[in-house]
Structures are given as structure tokens and as C-alpha cells.
């Protein structure tokens, strides 16, 4: 029969303490002990290092203590404790990654989150503080057998406590998401391109009215887009350059793109906007994948018509699928980020769908929601820490 013992070493961190512990446990292994798990955390120079050791009947708790005594571990304020442990039924089941994000995460918010975890008969195995600015972000590794109840309970808490949250299956696949597809207007960009073009054409009020009718369900996106573009008839193509110069990237957009490129991810943009405006901008940002609508231009003037198939809600999802095939990754290894109803199919199809400052109907279809104004917060849902983001 096997037995398990938990060895906990704690106190002011010092050079070599880990080597001393594992040297002692290596000595124990010669007598039949086996190292089965290790965890460590250091906060403000205070160390907690835990090792689980499994032994057979002829190796007991006193033998574990004797092995530790062969090394000079307990000094300079550091102490080691050995205790017998038994399997915890709550530790059974699969792991989920729970990412919490808010301008500041207080103890009361964590209390509610951990209450939901306990209420689902789950346990938290690890906590990592991914970022302290410009937002606060924690990643939890949670183990439990009833993932459906756990997801539901955590989602309720997140909404009630004002915390953005992503809940994902744990595993290497999370770091393997190689394609990140973003909407342009009000996601990658702070602006709506069609509104800026309408200002250039002197028809801003009419375009706003058509947009409102579309949002009210009186027009589908394709028809509303045709009507809005028709109002641009006669606009000189030079206005496209002026609009492009006015576009403002969302805070964190450059950081997001720079980090994705450095870590080997492929960024892409799928937009209901226009290639003629977006393509030069994205070329400057080193984004090679773009799907958007095309304006018809004849003799340097907009005709008020579109060329080719309209990129609508379904078209965005098809573009995601095509880009994934071109990059060579399954949809489970894609991320989609958007804010509008047109992004719902794309967000639903992706391995991780993120609603960025979106309306409730979009959040309902997303795996995660961000309500902070920083687009680079998407990186935390990929497990990328602020330290990694700022590494040159």
C-alpha cells in the first residue's frame, strides 16, 4: 500500500533552498520514495515550496523527516514540515483555466469567485497574477468534475461583481491558438469608417439614420450597407486617404499586434468596412490577412456601389474559417474578437470568442468578455503575462 506525504518548506527565500530539498528527496527515493508533485510560490521574498512524496509501507513519515535532516534546510528563518495526506475527492475531474480581469480586483471579488468554485465542489490548484496594470488580472487553475455548474456559477459571479472573465479548458492548446482574428470598427479601431466617409460626403445624418434602422432590426446588414454606400456616390477617392489619416487605433492595439507577432501568433482583420481604407493601414501594422468590403471606384470617384460579395455576419465566419485553413490551424486554435452583432457567428465559431466592449447579445455568444478599453488585455486570456508583453 502506498502513502503520500506533503513536505512544505517556507520562510525568507534564499539561494539553494530548492537544491537542498530535492537532494534530500533524492536520498529518500533510494529507499523507495517517489516525488509525485511540486509547487512553489514566492511573494515579496517569502517562499512556499511544496513537494508531494509517495512511498510504500516500509517508508514512513519518520523516514521522510530523516531524509530532510540530512540537508541543512531549516535555517535562516526557513522551516520544513512533513504531514501525511490522503486523496481528496474534490481533486478528481478535469482542470479549467479561469482568467479574472478588472481595473482592480479586490478581496471581496475574489471571495465571491472562490465561493462559486466551492459551491460547484471544485478546488483552485494555482493562482498566477498575470498583470497589475493597466488592469488587474489573475489566472486560476480550477479542478472539478461538474464543469457546467462551475461555468454557470462563475459567470453569474463575474456579472454581479463587475469582473471580466474567461473560462477555458486547461492544456497546451491554449498557447497553441495561432490565429487571432479581429473586427476593425470599434475593436481594432476607435472609429467607424463609414461614419467618417459620410462626414466627407456631407451625408452623416442620413447614414446615422440608416445605421439606427439596421440596429433596430428594420434592415439587415447587407441592405443597410448598400444604402449607406449609395449615399457616398460622387465622393472623390482622395477622401479615403483623409479618412485613413483620421483613424485612431484602440488603446493597446499596437502592443497587442507587436506581442502576437513576437510570440509567433498570426493576426488577421475581418471587417464590414472597406479594403480601400484598411489595407494600407494594416500593411503598416504588418497584418497580412484582411477580409473586408470593396468600394467601386471609377475615374477616381466613388460610384456608390460595392464590388463583390458583402462581408456580413456569415461572411465574417467564412473568412475566419478560410484564414484558419490558410494558416494551417484548426478552428479550435483560433481566437475571434469583436463588438457587434455582425461578429457573433465569427465569435461562436472560434476556439476562443471574445466580446470586446460589446452589447449583451454579443457577450451571450462569447467565451469571454472584456469591458476595459485596452485591446491588449486579450493577451491575458491567452495566458500571456504583462512581463512577457513588455519583454523586448
Which residues, in sequence order, are bridge partners of residue 375?
none
Q: Are strands 266-274 and 352-356 parallel, antiparallel or unpaired?
A: unpaired
Contact 80, 8 (CB under 8 A): yes
Known catalytic residue: 57? no
- Across the chain, the runs of DSSP E, i.e. the strands, are 3-12, 34-43, 46-55, 79-85, 94-102, 123-131, 136-144, 164-169, 179-182, 266-274, 289-298, 301-307, 334-338, 352-356, 368-370
- 71: three-class secondary structure by DSSP: coil
DSSP reduced 3-state for 230 = helix
- CA–CA distance, 280 with 263 (Å, rounded to integer): 24
Catalytic residue (one of 13, 164, 183, 345): 183
What number of other Cβ atoms are within 10 A of residue 109's Cβ? 20
185 part of the active site: yes
String of DSSP letters for 122-168: -EEEEEEEEE-SSSEEEEEEEEES-HHHHHHHHHHHHHHHT-EEEEE
Catalytic residue chosen out of the listed positions 185, 339, 343, 376: 185
Of 350, 354, 356, give the one whose Cα is nearest residue 318: 350
Sequence-distant (6+) residues with CB within 8 A of 242 are 200
What is the Rg, in whole angstroms, of the alpha carbon atoms belonging to the chain? 27
Annotated catalytic residues are 183, 185
Amino acid at each position: 500500500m502506498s502513502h503520500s506525504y506533503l513536505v512544505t518548506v517556507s520562510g525568507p527565500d534564499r539561494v539553494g533552498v530548492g537544491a537542498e530539498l530535492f537532494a534530500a528527496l533524492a536520498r529518500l527515493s533510494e529507499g523507495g520514495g517517489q516525488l509525485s508533485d511540486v509547487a512553489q510560490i514566492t511573494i515579496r521574498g517569502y517562499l512556499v515550496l511544496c513537494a508531494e512524496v509517495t512511498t510504500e509501507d516500509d517508508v514512513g513519515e519518520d523516514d521522510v523527516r530523516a531524509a530532510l535532516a540530512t540537508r541543512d534546510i531549516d535555517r535562516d528563518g526557513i522551516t520544513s514540515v512533513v504531514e501525511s495526506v490522503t486523496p481528496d475527492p474534490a481533486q478528481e475531474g478535469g482542470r479549467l483555466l479561469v482568467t479574472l480581469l478588472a481595473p482592480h480586483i479586490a478581496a471581496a471579488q475574489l471571495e465571491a469567485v472562490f465561493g462559486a468554485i466551492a459551491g460547484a465542489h471544485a478546488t483552485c490548484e494555482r493562482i498566477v497574477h498575470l498583470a497589475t496594470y493597466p488592469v488587474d488580472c489573475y489566472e486560476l487553475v480550477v479542478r472539478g468534475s461538474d464543469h457546467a455548474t462551475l461555468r454557470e456559477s462563475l459567470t453569474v459571479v463575474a456579472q454581479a461583481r463587475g469582473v471580466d472573465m474567461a473560462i477555458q479548458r486547461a492544456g497546451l492548446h491554449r498557447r497553441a491558438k495561432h490565429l487571432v482574428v479581429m473586427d476593425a470598427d470599434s475593436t481594432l479601431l476607435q472609429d467607424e469608417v463609414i461614419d467618417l466617409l459620410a462626414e466627407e460626403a456631407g451625408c452623416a445624418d442620413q447614414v446615422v439614420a440608416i445605421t439606427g434602422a439596421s440596429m433596430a432590426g428594420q434592415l439587415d446588414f447587407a441592405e443597410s450597407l448598400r444604402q449607406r454606400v449609395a449615399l457616398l456616390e460622387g465622393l472623390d477617392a482622395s477622401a479615403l486617404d483623409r479618412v485613413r489619416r483620421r483613424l485612431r487605433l484602440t488603446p493597446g492595439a499596437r502592443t497587442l499586434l507587436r506581442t502576437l507577432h513576437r510570440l509567433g501568433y498570426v493576426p488577421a482583420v475581418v471587417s464590414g468596412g472597406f479594403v480601400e481604407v484598411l489595407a494600407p493601414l494594416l500593411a503598416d501594422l504588418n497584418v497580412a490577412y484582411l477580409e473586408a468590403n470593396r468600394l467601386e471606384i471609377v475615374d477616381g470617384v466613388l460610384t456608390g456601389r460595392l464590388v463583390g460579395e458583402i462581408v456580413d455576419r456569415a461572411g465574417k465566419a467564412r473568412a475566419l474559417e478560410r484564414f484558419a485553413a490558410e494558416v494551417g490551424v484548426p478552428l479550435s486554435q483560433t481566437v475571434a474578437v469583436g463588438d457587434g452583432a455582425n461578429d457573433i457567428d465569427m465569435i461562436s465559431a472560434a476556439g476562443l470568442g471574445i466580446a470586446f466592449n460589446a452589447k449583451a447579445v454579443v457577450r451571450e455568444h462569447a467565451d469571454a468578455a472584456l469591458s476595459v478599453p485596452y485591446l491588449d488585455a486579450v493577451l491575458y486570456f491567452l495566458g500571456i503575462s504583462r512581463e512577457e508583453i513588455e519583454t523586448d
